[in-house]
Amino acid sequence: MLAALMGVAMAARGSDGVAIEPPETSEVVVGEFPPPSGLTVADAGDSSVVRLWWRESSQDLAGFVIEAQSSASRVEAWGATRTLGAPPEARVASDRPGPGLHRYRICSLRTNGERSPFSAWAVVEVARGWTPLVPSPDSLRIFVSAAGSDTNDGLTPSNPIRTLQAARARVRAGSPDWILLRCGDLFHENDVEVWHGGRSAREPAVWTSYGEGPRPVIVPKGTWPGIAIQEGASNLAIVGLHFRGTTDSPASGIQLFVGRRPFGNLLIEDCVVERFKDNINIQGRIAGPNFIRGVAIRRSIVADAHPRGRSHSQGAYIDSVEGLLIEECLFDRNGWVDKQRADATIFNHNLYLGTRNGESATIRRCIIARASSHGIQLRGGGVIEDNLFLLNPIAAQLGGGDPVPATHAQGVTGRVSGNVVLNGVDINGTLPRGMGILAFNIGARGAVIEHNVIAFNLASDVNAFPIHLWADSYGAGVGVNNVRVSRNVIHDWRGPLVIAAPAAPRAPSPACTVEGVVIEFNEIQMPVANDTTANCVSVRFASSPAQVRLDSNAYWSVRPADQLLRYDNVAMSLEQWSEASGDRGSRVEKVAYVDPMRDAASHARAAGLGSTALDLLAAARLQRRGDWRAERTAAAVVTHVKEGFSGER
């Protein structure tokens, strides 16, 4: 079909990075049914990749055809058409066109040989580094300063308006107007709301700064949020601002609630959001067409959210968003404030990403540190890649959560790849944790946990699980299915990689199973193991080869040889384990690494940032446009640690 239709066929890449070849057939008939709806395209933030997502409810699909064109300039002189394909179960895909202007449209293929018409074109610009923002020829630029006057016209830096309310009243709905706050100024106001958005994703309304010095600071009065974005303000960029809460404020720093109509395209970049109950709070409507599409949070610092009384507190709470990108941010010390962590709870997290965000969510190259409980809860599935997790009770959770039909009827899918997890801790003295990566409610499409380093647990040994495939807990959903755990390094975590037994299903999950789990090519090294249950791997039930397959792992522990592994609650030697579990390719080996003691503190010393992990975090809080230093980034620490764990594989 594609050869006849387009002449040229190229492969798209799915969310797991695997090439998806377009389907082929001899002829095309255009049917009278609609194309997929809601095609959205977004810059993935790595100067190369475009992510696409769409909606399709038909049941008789053979696949999708995506057309792509690129432009060498912003004048939209489009080049040759490229053709991409996606399988019938896909609702997310990715392309790697590189920097520039690109557009995409999509049609669906039916099993009867017909295809739908194509959707409208969706346009995206792939940028390098910081997101390019350029005023349009008709943009109004309203300058605001604490030294200004609301009787000024605000059209020049020398004649600024004084209040944000007055500036807001002068911008136009649906126009690419800018509000610029003077650097170094403090704005202590209530009712800071964004009423109007821009013309399009390429021509957004912008709230940003001007002049030299530190970011302008917005401190709300009373119970007001730092900034409240109204649902009519689609196509909005908030860049280079500092939102700071007060000790008694119960509100959010950046707040967006959508209830009556859809919202699209929000960029938060180069911002500091700190000291609110919830630093970022973004919620679409649970049901119906009123959702949020396209949210990017980039190169921002989100820190020190803390609970007020018995309320829960998050660095970011985000739900019902299609197309969420969180990239190169610092999320640090959210959900607690007491020095002894007495106010830390199981309900407070750095990133609480709800079940209804869907698999288009991506968290990439962030530093995620010192959470109350979870560094990330990615309940709806998606991608967690190349992040640094530091001093968290639980680093990352893929899937799980409340048993709701949105995810628990079929489970979720996702990828946890390339991360470095260091120094697990307890929530506090009464809530032991110290977990690395959790996965549960993984459906038939499966998940991948690969190329991660998980090292140096500092918590008690009670829950010291570097990777836990969790099928017997609250929110287990459909269980753990088709999960591949591959080429991870686990070093000095003091507890086993765990595959739990399936539990009785809980509605709306039709079943809870453990099927198709593969544990292969991992290096599980335990130079410190204090307890007889601190085995390298623990399969907590009598599994069949179709449920759990183990192959070519390197196990080593200071425990006696007959306690190396645990199967169906019985400690075993490798020989006994191989006979019981079917593991035929694994071995006992103490792997020789280049420098297995590398961690965040050693990077801080090598980079001249100090001598401890806390020094690294303090340095990361200094990142900003104009002073962005590579040695303060997650990428630098990840590279430093992984190079230390390199060696003969």
- Judge if 283 and 139 occupy the same domain: yes
Task: Using the 3D structure, point to which of 94, 126, 158 is the last residue of a domain.
Answer: 126
C-alpha distances (whole Å) from 300 to each of 11, 196, 493, 557 are 34, 23, 30, 40
pLDDT at 10 over 50: no
Report pLDDT for 461.
87
Report pLDDT for 375.
98
- Judge if 105 and 226 occupy the same domain: no
Mean pLDDT of 478-483: 97
Least confident of 160-169, 353-362, 490-499: 353-362
| Beta pairing class for 382-385 and 252-257 | unpaired
Phi, psi of 355 (to 5 degrees): -65, -25
Report pLDDT for 447.
98
Residues 335 and 349: their CA atoms lie apart, in Å, by 6
Question: How would DSSP label each residue in 540-580?
Answer: -S---TTTEEEES-EEEESS-GGGSEEETTEEE-HHHHHHH
Q: Is residue 358 in some structural domain?
A: no
| Beta pairing class for 523-526 and 565-567 | unpaired
Report pLDDT for 289.
59
Report pLDDT for 244.
96
- Judge if 158 and 260 occupy the same domain: yes
Q: What pLDDT digit, counting tens, does each position of 411-426 carry?
A: 999 999 999 999 999 9
Q: Which residue has the tokens 């997290």?
A: 349
Report pLDDT for 477.
94
- Judge if 185 and 89 occupy the same domain: no
Phi, psi of 466 (to 5 degrees): -65, -40
pLDDT at 84 over 60: yes
Q: Which residue has the tokens 């350029």?
A: 134
Report pLDDT for 16.
37
Which neighbouring-strand residues pair with 40?
53
DSSP run (H or E) holding 317: strand 314-319
- Judge if 118 and 170 occupy the same domain: no
SS3 272: strand
Range of 57-61, 301-305, 358-362 with top mean pLDDT: 301-305
Report pLDDT for 21.
46
Task: Using the 3D structure, point to which of 62, 95, 126 is the last residue of a domain.
Answer: 126
Which neighbouring-strand residues pair with 519?
485, 550
Domains in the chain: how many in total? 2
The answer to whether the CB of 266 falls within 8 A of the CB of 239 is no
Q: Is residue 289 in some structural domain?
A: yes
Q: What pLDDT digit, counting tens, does each position of 87-115 carry?
A: 998 888 889 998 888 999 999 999 988 99
Residues 27 and 245: their CA atoms lie apart, in Å, by 61
Report pLDDT for 76.
62
Residues 362 and 381: their CA atoms lie apart, in Å, by 9
Half-sphere exposure of 341 (CA within 13 A, CB side): 21
- Judge if 34 and 88 occupy the same domain: yes
Task: Using the 3D structure, point to which of 298, 333, 366 is the last residue of a domain.
Answer: 298
Domain that holds residue 19: 2-126
- Judge if 122 and 151 occupy the same domain: no
pLDDT at 69 over 70: yes
Q: Is residue 629 in some structural domain?
A: no
Report pLDDT for 18.
34
Q: Is residue 405 in some structural domain?
A: no
Q: What does the buried/exposed string (b/e) look like for 257-268 if buried means 16 or more CB atoms within 10 Å of the residue's CB?
A: bbeeebbbbbbb
Q: Is residue 434 in some structural domain?
A: no
Question: How would DSSP label each residue in 75-119?
Answer: T--B---EEEEE-TT-SEEEE---SEEEEEEEEEEETTSEEPPP-
- Judge if 62 and 203 occupy the same domain: no
Q: Is residue 494 in some structural domain?
A: no
Helix, strand, coil distribution of the chain in percent, nearest 5: 10, 40, 55
- Judge if 108 and 144 occupy the same domain: no
- Judge if 49 and 85 occupy the same domain: yes
**Sign of the alpha-carbon dihedral angle for 386, 387, 389, 395:** negative
Please provide the distance, in angstroms rounded to a whole number, between the alpha carbons at the two ends of the chain.
Answer: 44
- Judge if 74 and 151 occupy the same domain: no
pLDDT band at 286 (very low <50, low <70, confident <90, very high): low
CATH number at residue 101: 2.60.40.10
The answer to whether the CB of 38 falls within 8 A of the CB of 54 is yes
DSSP run (H or E) holding 615: helix 613-620
pLDDT band at 288 (very low <50, low <70, confident <90, very high): low
| Beta pairing class for 349-353 and 314-319 | parallel
Mean pLDDT of 552-562: 96
- Judge if 185 and 78 occupy the same domain: no
Other Cβ atoms closer than 10 A to 224? 18
Q: Is residue 146 in some structural domain?
A: yes
pLDDT at 22 over 70: no
Q: Is residue 140 in some structural domain?
A: yes
Q: Is the peptide bond before 34 cis (omega within 30 degrees of 0)?
A: no
Report pLDDT for 406.
81
Q: Among 33, 91, 100, which residue's Cα sits nearest to residue 63?
A: 91
Mean pLDDT of 433-456: 97
